[in-house]
Amino acid sequence: MAAPNKKWWKKSVVYQVYWRSFCDSDGDGYGDLEGVIRKLDYIRELGVDIVWLNPVYESPDLDNGYDISDYEAIMRKAGTMETWERLLTEVHRRGMKLMMDLVVNHTSDRHPWFIESRSSRDNPKRDWYIWKDAKDGKEPNNWRSYFSPSAWEWDEATGQYYFHSFAPEQPDLNWRNPEVREAIYRMMTFWLDKGVDGFRLDAIALLAKPDDFPDADRPEDIRYLTNNPGLHDYLREMNERVLSRYDVVTVGEAAFVTPEEGLKFVGEDRRELDMLFHFEICDEMPGWDMIRFKQIQRRWYAGLWGKGTNSQFLNNHDHTRQVTRYGNDGPYRVQSAKLLATMLHTLPGVPYIYQGEEIGMTGVRFDSIEDYNDIAMINRYAEEVGKGRDPMEVFRELQALSRDNSRTPMQWDDSPNAGFTTGTPWIRVNPNYLEINAAKDRSSPDSVYRYYQELIRLRKEHDVMAYGDFEEWPEWMDDERLYVYTRSLDGVRWLILLNHSDEPVPFEWPERVRSLTLRLLLANYPPRGDESERTATLRPHEARIYELLDDARR
Ligand code: TEU
């Protein structure tokens, strides 16, 4: 297959900073931008190239910043514009780039645009949002939203419903209206002129809405919210009007896309976005499923390679920590965290690290719904309990995938509140911080943190990790425990061997490699001295990266 074109961001590693849970500099219990600045050396020492900062704009903060009330101001909890500017300077001073999270599908209901829009039916901004009359005295259609039972909210004052893909406090903008698009492009230009290096575009597959909002056959399957006609016209226009004028990188959060759909977002000849997050894993694979995971990787590689860029991630601020959800957070936590890292950093695509992943932080199980803050969980809990279900049963059901699993504070050290804050943290700290924390990891040569450093160093030194073709070894394609594949570029060939299971698994080297020399580049266990040329035994959650050398290259 054609190797991808080279661009600066294709060889990069992105680190996601969920700032409110990262580092609190002033003791108010919320992480803040000053706190992020303090920890930039930590991020830099990992080897990271791009920092993705979750939304910091002015917001009533009902959905943790994804409900923006002023796009050109900084939320008080986070800091001031002056601090933000200093953060940008400090990121750049360390040779890194800053990627801002931007929400353009919806605003907060407190945004002045919406306040005007809802003020009367003939307000000039009425059409900036999506308003519809009631149908037979009810909602215009039967769609659900992500966070509530209906995507429509009744507005008593003007006697119409407005549309919201998420909470009722997050009304969707009407992208059909050219004035809305102009206002968004102007706002993006404001940030680009300040020097940001790119955007993570929130819920970007939701921008376009259908003409007529037909009823869904199965309202519980909310795919209808995404990928509606017109979406790619908007993205092309955004690219032409804004993005193409700067040397920036974009990643779109694209729910419910297949590789065929995905290529429309990131195909390099289409001039829309650079990378995407698809959710075939995080939204649709509740627990680890090796066969399915391999199929997903295969399909996306076939669909995008040489044409557009994928991202590799298994968790973020919305999805439970990977070592808990997809690995082993018990006896093999360290090995498992390293195995997952090896996989994400050697599969084709740009790897994303979610804060705390690099020290193997785990999910959490708090005792009661009162300990949780996630609006998705709380609204769903109220809905289900409202139907008369047993509250404890509902609570238990929602716990495993609550978004708060990954939102607990970063565990810096073993001091109170894990060194995150001197005040009362906005969300409880995971009690395992005495055992799992950055200070401990950084001082131990075998830690998860050190392993991430090694992986990132390898990416910097070897183009094959970013640009190499991907090929699975056919003998293990259907294996439920082992994942075996190569990456190859210009005669350099790497082999990745992963045992994603709690048991030791025997491995027999195929005939065709017995004449090659294997040079071990990185592994999460010490090398065994007792392996023959024909067989090996992979220990639980063992990961190895080899370079394969034939005679000419030895
Ligand atoms: O999430 C969008 C979203 O739909 C996710 O909840 C979903 O689980 C998945 O990851 C994509 O299919 C974004 C933000 O990441 C989230 O924190 C916000 O709450 C949401 O948008 C609304 O802005």
- If one residue of 101, 104, 226, 318 were mutated to test the ligand 1 pocket, choosing by the most ligand atoms within 8 A of its CB, it would be 318
What is the homologous superfamily of the domain 112-163 according to CATH?
Answer: Oligo-1,6-glucosidase; Domain 2 (3.90.400.10)
Pick the catalytic residue from 67, 253, 261, 469: 253
Task: Determine if ligand 1 sits within 6 Å of the CB of residue 203.
Answer: yes
**The ligand 1 atom nearest the CA atom of 103:** 23
pLDDT number for residue 552? 62
> pLDDT value at position 6?
76
Exposure string for 324-363, b = 16+ CB within 10 A, e = fewer: bbbbbbeebbbbbbbbbbbbbbbbbbbbbbbbbbbbbbbb
> From the CA of 203, how far away is ligand 1's center (Å)?
6
Within the chain, all domains assigned CATH 3.90.400.10 are found at 112-163
250's tokens: 């974009």
For the chain, what percentages of helix, strand and coil (3-state, to nearest 5) are there?
35, 20, 45
| pLDDT at 73 (0 to 100) | 98
Nearest to 270 by CA among 226, 240, 242, 236: 236
> What's the CATH class of domain 468-553?
mainly beta
Atom 20 (ligand 1): residue with closest C-alpha?
Answer: 66
Q: Are strands 97-102 and 152-155 parallel, antiparallel or unpaired?
A: unpaired
List the structure tokens of 321.
């920590």
Q: How far apart are CA 337 and CA 323, in angstroms?
A: 6
Task: Decide if 253 is catalytic.
Answer: yes
Kindly write down the DSSP assignment for every residue of 81-135, as one continuous string.
HHHHHHHHHHHHHTT-EEEEEE--SB--TTSHHHHHHTT-TT-TTGGGB-EE--B
| Nearest to 136, CA basis, from 162, 155, 161, 163 | 161
Residue nearest to atom 18 of ligand 1 (CA): 66
Task: Check if 283 has its Cβ closer than 6 Å to any atom of ligand 1.
Answer: yes
Specify the DSSP class assigned to residue 504: -
CA dihedral for 51, 541, 334, 496, sign (positive or negative): negative
pLDDT in tens, the chain (554 residues): 666 777 899 999 999 999 999 999 999 999 999 999 999 999 999 999 999 999 999 999 999 999 999 999 999 999 999 999 999 999 999 999 999 999 999 999 999 999 999 999 999 999 999 999 999 999 999 999 999 999 999 999 999 999 999 999 999 999 999 999 999 999 999 999 999 999 999 999 999 999 999 999 999 999 999 999 999 999 999 999 999 999 999 999 999 999 999 999 999 999 999 999 999 999 999 999 999 999 999 999 999 999 999 999 999 999 999 999 999 999 999 999 999 999 999 999 999 999 999 999 999 999 999 999 999 999 999 999 999 999 999 999 999 999 999 999 999 999 999 999 999 999 999 999 999 999 999 999 999 999 999 999 999 999 999 999 999 999 999 999 999 999 999 999 999 999 999 999 999 999 988 889 999 999 999 988 777 778 899 999 999 999 999 866 55
The residue to mutate among 166, 226, 280, 354, having the most atoms of ligand 1 within 8 angstroms of its beta carbon, is 166
CB-based contacts of 439: which residues, under 8 Å, 6+ apart? 412, 413, 414, 419
Our answer on whether the CB atom of 202 is closer than 6 Å to any ligand 1 atom is yes
63 Cβ inside 6 Å of ligand 1: yes
Q: Is the CB of 146 under 6 A from ligand 1?
A: yes
pLDDT for 206 equals 98
Q: Which two tokens stand for residue 371?
A: 């300990």
Closest protein CA for atom 14 of ligand 1: 202
Answer whether 57 contacts ligand 1 (Cβ < 6 A). no
Residues of each domain in the chain carrying CATH 2.60.40.1180: 468-553
Tokens of 492: 């350099």
Which residues contact residue 4 at a Cβ distance below 8 angstroms, ignoring those fewer than 6 apart?
10, 305, 306, 309, 467
Residue of 241, 242, 206, 240 lying closest to 224 (CA atoms): 206
Ligand 1 pocket, 281 CB below 6 A? no
Please say whether the dihedral angle defined by the alpha carbons of residues 536, 538, 539 and 542, taken in this order, is positive or negative: positive
Specify the amino acid at residue 472.
E
Q: What is the pLDDT of residue 534?
A: 84
> Cα separation of 505 and 514, whole Å?
19
Residue nearest to atom 17 of ligand 1 (CA): 318
CB atoms < 10 A from the CB of 193, how many?
9
In 10 A of CB 292, how many CB atoms?
Answer: 13
Distinct helix (H) and strand (E) counts, the chain: 15, 20
Q: In this predicted structure, what is the pLDDT of residue 530?
A: 75
**Rounded Cα gap, residues 43 and 37, in angstroms:** 10
| 61 CB near ligand 1 (under 6 Å) | no
Query: Is the Cβ–Cβ distance between 314 and 343 less than 8 Å?
Result: no
User: Is 31:22 a contact under the CB 8 Å cutoff?
Assistant: yes
Atom of ligand 1 at shortest range from CA of 318:
17
Closest CA to 526 of 514, 509, 543, 511: 543
Is 393 catalytic? The answer is: no
pTM of the model: 0.97
Query: Roughly what angle, to the nearest 10 degrees, separates helices 448-461 and 333-346?
Result: 20
Length of the chain: 554
Q: Using only C-alpha atoms, what is the Rg of the chain?
A: 24
Query: 434, 453, 432: which is closest to 329 by C-alpha?
Result: 432
* Of 32, 49, 67, 202, catalytic: 202
